[in-house]
Each structure stands twice: as structure tokens, then as C-alpha cells.
Amino acid sequence: MLHDYKLFDADAHTMMSPRMWETLPNGFRARRPRPSRVHDASDLGRWTNGWLVEGQVIPHALGPGSQPGNEPARVLEEFGAKSDNEAFPLSSFDLSDPAARLRTMDFMGVDHQMLYPTTLYARMSRDPGFEAALMRSYNRYLGRQCRSFPKRLKWAGLLPLRDVRQGLEAIEEMAKLGASAAVVYGTAGERLLCDPSFESVWDELHRSGLPLCVHMGMSYPPFLEVCNGLLAAHGIGMTLPAMMAFVAIVGCGMLDRYPNLKVGFLEFGAEWILYMVPRLDHYLPIDRSQMPIKGDLSQKTIEEQAKSGRIFIAGEADDRMLREEIDLLGEDQILYSSDLPHGEGRHDAAKEVLARQDISDFQKRKILYSNAVNFFGEP
């Protein structure tokens, strides 16, 4: 609790660690990501180590497919990882010591925290079966590490879409493990989230009652060739998939087909929604008249759906468009996020929200706590 405000951090992270792949099936264990040193760092920018996955080193700062992400030096002492602040020990970053994460949260004044994986999971393998196995192994790790503190440590289970069988099994498994939501990235490879091949997975997720989180990540393969530096990765490769997911979920009728589904957009910022809603509503009537099959596009306006109470979004604490976003979505749909321990995350982001003069105290309490409860459920 911070200054009498309860805090529910809707977007925090666990850093990638070899412990997350301990339950990989035997057939995939030899292919697991491995920490690796890079002696010629010219292609990695400042990084001299990374994760060796399917013959590629990730993350890297320069060249095709460049993207940020936690390298082994953020979590493994043998790769130089260290923490200069006792409130943020390495064991808190990778959740190897759940009690250490609680102490970090106490330092931040956070009552409850929603945990997501690193964005590197967005495109770790071209093999759908291996990708799904990595995701499910991560889910088991989070379920195991969070089970002693289920009210404070909440987590989203990775939902593999490109392997439909494993996707269906993963929903049942993550629910049993105690997940509070399912998380996907903006696309499933080169397919939009509304692709008909995923219908059975969405049917099952809707039956489960779990909310859906769409998280930042370079999930669309062509961006791996387009983005050759970190600014392009942040501004294009890891951000535009949010808009692609919004079109798929809101524009292509998924909210119509799944009337109880709630969807949150995390770590993309929030300003983009001010562009997307009027732009899609401009085209929707024209495009709807051209579609051969009724139901391929939403029968409601995009603005109606944005205001339905089922679309949630986490902006930045210093978001200059927050007032306009509240006017569009409503004050009940904005979530607070720290993004820790990512490099751009800030442990005092909640103080920035509290210091804002453009929103009321009542709205601050909703953003910092009650909206997350509405989305994820009571802790």
C-alpha cells in the first residue's frame, strides 16, 4: 500500500532463466535455450551474452531481428549478473525466491502483482510444437513458484496458438495451476488472432472464464527482417502487433462471438487506441458491405466495443494522452503497470500517477487498484 492507496500492478515480469525449462518433455530438452557468451559483440551492441535458441543468439541490438530482452547477464551470476539494491535481488527478477519478489513489492508499495514472461517468447522458435512446449514449461514454473502466495503473486499463462492441441491442453493446465489470465502476443506468427484455425482454442478459453492479455512482443515474423535496431524494434516490431491484435479482436467480431471475454493490452502504451478506434470506424461500414459472409466483421461500431467495459489498456504513468484515453474508454478500463524489472520499468511509477493533476483522486484509485480487480478478479 502506498499513501493509503492499494496498488495492483497489472504488468510486471519474470526474467528468463534456465529454471523455466526444467519440465520440458524429453524430446525437446536438448533444444532448450542456453546461456551463451559472445566474444565478437559487434552484432549485439553492448551485449556480450545472450540465449542460444535454434542456432540464433537473442536478444541483439543490431541487425535483422534486433530486439531488447533480458540477457543472461541480468539473471545469472556466472554471466556477471548482480544487484546493487537489496530490494531488487536477482532471485526476485527470475522468481527463484518468491519471498524475495514479495520484498520487492513491499519496497514498491505494491499489494498485488500480475506477472508475465519476457517478450522473447513472442518468437522463440519456428517450430509450433517446440514453441508450445517452452510456453507450457514456463507456465508450470510460474504455477509452482506462485502457489505459496496466490493472493499477492498473480500470473498469466502463455497460450500457444500455433499448436492447437497443445493450446487446448494449456488452457486446462494453466487453470489448474492457478493462472489468473492467459497471455498471447499480437499475432500468432504470420496469422492474426482471429484466424479460423484458432477458433477451438478461443472457444475453450471463453469456457474457462480466464481473461485474455495481449502483450508487447515482436511476434510478426516479417518485422524480424525490417527492424535492424532497437528504436525500430520498439517503435515498429514490438508495438504494431498491438494494433494487429486490436483489429482481430475488436474489428473482426471476436467480442461478438465471445460475449463474456475481457481483453487487456499490456506494455504497448495506450496512445495508439486514440488513432485506431476512429480509423477503424471510418472503414468498418464500407468494408462490412463488401464482406461475403455476415459475421466476418463486428456488427457493432469499434467505439461501442471500446466503451463496452471489456477492453482494458495499460498506459505509461507519464502518458500525456491519459485524459483523452479515459474519455474514450472510460475510467474503469485503464490499468496501472510498472513493467519491472524491464529496463524501461520504474519502481516508483505509482508515485507518478499519484502526482498527476489531470485526473481525480477517485480515478487514481481505480487505475491503481480496482480496475485490475475488475479485469483479473478478486485477489
Q: What is the CATH number of the domain that holds 281?
A: 3.20.20.140
Q: How many domains does the chain have?
A: 1
196 occurs within a structural domain: yes
Inter-CA distances, 164 with 44, 74, 129, 195, Å = 34, 33, 10, 12
266 occurs within a structural domain: yes
Handedness of CA 257, 313, 345, 271 (dihedral sign): positive
Contacts of 295 (CB under 8 A, 6+ apart): 253, 256, 257
**What's the rounded Cα separation, in Å, for the pair 233 and 68?**
8
15 occurs within a structural domain: yes
Q: What residues make up the domain containing 274?
A: 8-34+85-376
Half-sphere exposure of 84 (CA within 13 A, CB side): 0
126 occurs within a structural domain: yes
Half-sphere exposure of 325 (CA within 13 A, CB side): 25
Cα dihedral value 181, 30, 62, 47, nearest 10: 90
**Angle at alpha carbon of residue 242, lines to 241 and 243, rounded to 5°:** 90
**What's the rounded Cα separation, in Å, for the pair 361 and 219?**
37
Per-residue pLDDT in tens (0 to 9) along the chain, 379 residues? 677 889 999 999 999 999 999 999 999 999 999 999 887 655 566 778 889 998 888 888 888 888 888 889 889 998 888 887 888 999 999 999 999 999 999 999 999 999 999 888 998 899 999 999 999 999 999 999 999 999 999 999 999 999 999 999 999 999 999 999 999 999 999 999 999 999 999 999 999 999 999 999 999 999 988 998 889 999 999 999 999 999 999 999 999 999 999 999 999 889 999 999 999 999 998 888 877 655 578 889 999 999 999 999 998 888 999 999 999 999 999 999 998 877 666 778 889 999 999 999 999 999 999 999 999 999 8
**What's the rounded Cα separation, in Å, for the pair 110 and 100?**
13
341 occurs within a structural domain: yes
231 occurs within a structural domain: yes
Amino acid identity for residue 334 in this structure: I
182 occurs within a structural domain: yes
Nearest Cα neighbor of 293 from 261, 253, 322 is 253
